[in-house]
Amino acid sequence: MEKRTLGRTGLSIAPLVFGGNVFGWTADEKTSFQLLGALFAAGFTAVDTADAYSTWVPGNSGGESETIIGKWLKQSGRSRDEAVIVTKVGSEMGPDRKGLSARWILQAVEDSLRRLQTDHIDVYLSHWPDPETPYEETLRAYESLLQQGKVRHIGASNLNAEQLRAALDVSKQQNLPRYDVLQPEYNLYERSSFEGPLADLCVKEDIGVITYFSLAAGFLSGKYRSKADTEGRAREGRVSQYLNDKGMRILAALDKVSAETGAKPAEISLAWLLRKKGVTAPIASATSLSQLESLVKSATLALSDEAMALLDEAGA
């Protein structure tokens, strides 16, 4: 399995980042530990999380995912340097506990470090744009954290091309650290927000790209083909938006490539991402060892040009 370099960070990662949003939500602590153990044993050592995972679950207050990762890292016996931990700041954690102000970043990072039981975060991302805070203030806070060694690299999630360009310009003009990693929503169904100017900018500036919703909340696994398939599922509301003509065209194309290759739709969807311009690695989650095994296979699945063209057309 060939590793990839995450933009200018110099970090070498396997071509799949595990989505830790499931930890403390659809995967309990025991299952999460099993998944992390199997993940690292297979050579995949990058895990994506956020301070806000998983505030949406009744009874949770945020930080559950980071806490589980931290516990596992401590009890696993593995060196901290084996892992690449990506976490985020900016989502609402409560009153006055959100956004990208220097005050909140400097507090939130300490909370994340405590939960992760580590002295540094490999990649720290601005989770959402914050129109109330100037880029300079945010970047100066990150500069402080980088100088202290509490954060190794910084990046952003959910910025469009104009916003990312503006942030890069401020970094250059003020001689501040720049965003070296971007985490956009990008998959076979949702392509318009990344393809084009944003992807071009990432390539031009050598910004590492790790995509989220890489499987469209599980829709691209092929297991949701009707409203009835989604009922009672944790992501019922989100998956339902894909149950339309475009979604069915994509599933039909995935089925055809699956019949030709013997690979599962989820594996094909991730392999498609790995061949797209600018993408370093997709983020994908699993809640069982069998699902994880399938995700791992995607990293070595080579799609033909014909298969890529078929999938491109279906999701256009």
The predicted-structure confidence for 36-67, as pLDDT tens digits, reads as follows 999 999 999 999 999 999 999 999 999 999 99
CATH classification (class only), 4-216+276-302: alpha beta
CB 312 within 8 A of CB 47: no
CB 174 within 8 A of CB 139: yes
pTM: predicted TM-score of the whole model, two decimal places: 0.95
Residue 87 has pLDDT above 90, yes or no: yes
Helices and strands of the chain, counted as H and E runs: 12, 10
CB 213 within 8 A of CB 185: yes
So what's the pLDDT on residue 234?
A: 63
Query: ∠ CA 207-210-215 to the nearest 5 degrees?
Result: 150
CB 294 within 8 A of CB 288: no
So what's the pLDDT on residue 230?
A: 67
Would you name the residues annotated as active-site residues?
53
So what's the pLDDT on residue 236?
A: 62
Instruction: Using a pLDDT cut of 90, give the percent of the chain over it.
Output: 91
**Quick one: residue 40, left, alpha or beta (phi over 0 = left, psi -120 to 50 = alpha)?**
alpha
So what's the pLDDT on residue 223?
A: 86
Look up residue 200 and give its two tokens.
Answer: 């071009």
Report, in angstroms and rounded to the nearest whole number, the Rg of the chain calculated over CA atoms: 19
Q: Quickly count: other Cβ atoms within 10 Å of residue 149's Cβ.
A: 9
| Amino acid letter, residue 97 | R
| Mean of pLDDT values over 248-272 | 97
Angle of helix 265-274 relative to helix 245-261, nearest 10 degrees? 90
